[in-house]
């Protein structure tokens, strides 16, 4: 299984009514050198200024981004090329990130290469340390700056640290 760490930025809370602005992905392996970055033109007239501000982009900038169908096709092709076997989606907040990636894949391509499941980093860490009040974010090396590739890399670094520090059984 190939673990793909994903992070997305959006201009609102749900796909369809709002838009995924950008996303980043990294193949989880020690080098963290195989990455994907996509910027997507809005699919909706609705957007929340405060949500969009997190991404660091203006509405005007996002209107010039690439067609979502093209970006999702590029991402699917990248997954096919880079994942050594079935890709597995993992993210810091999979309840948020997964819903957008899943919706966009199904809406624009008719299928999701990740299938129907994902893993949540926070839940994984809480289970490893046996404490529902702990947080994994101190294991990141790359600064969390809301650029989705950087954020995905930081989360992948944390997963690699969990393997080393907690003997997490995971294959890369």
Query: Could you list the active site residues?
Result: 146
Closest by CA to 43, choosing from 24, 73, 72, 21, is 21
DSSP string, 20-34: EEEEEEEE-STT---
Which helix (H) or strand (E) segment is 12 a member of?
A: none
* Range 119-143 burial, b when 16+ CB lie within 10 A, else e: ebbbebbbeeeeeeeeebeebbebe
| Residue 109: Cβ-neighbour burial (10 angstroms; 0-12, 13-18, 19+) | middle
Spatial distance between the Cα atoms of 67 and 58, rounded to a whole number of angstroms: 17
């Amino acid at each position: 299984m190939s673990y793909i760490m994903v992070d997305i930025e959006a201009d609102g809370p749900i796909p369809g009514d709002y838009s995924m602005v950008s996303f980043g992905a990294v193949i989880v392996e020690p080098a963290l050198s195989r990455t994907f970055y996509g910027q997507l033109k809005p699919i909706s007239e609705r957007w929340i200024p405060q949500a969009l501000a997190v991404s660091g982009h203006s509405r005007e900038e996002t209107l010039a981004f690439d067609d979502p169908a093209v970006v999702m096709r590029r991402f699917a092709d990248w997954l096919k090329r880079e994942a050594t076997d079935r890709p597995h989606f993992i993210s810091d907040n999979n309840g948020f990130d997964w819903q957008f990636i899943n919706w966009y894949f199904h809406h624009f391509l008719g299928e999701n290469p990740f299938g129907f499941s994902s893993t949540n980093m926070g839940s994984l860490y809480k289970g490893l340390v046996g404490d529902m009040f702990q947080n994994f974010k101190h294991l990141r090396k790359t600064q969390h700056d809301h650029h989705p590739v950087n954020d995905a890399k930081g989360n992948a670094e944390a997963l690699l640290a969990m393997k080393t520090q907690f003997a997490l059984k995971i294959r890369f």
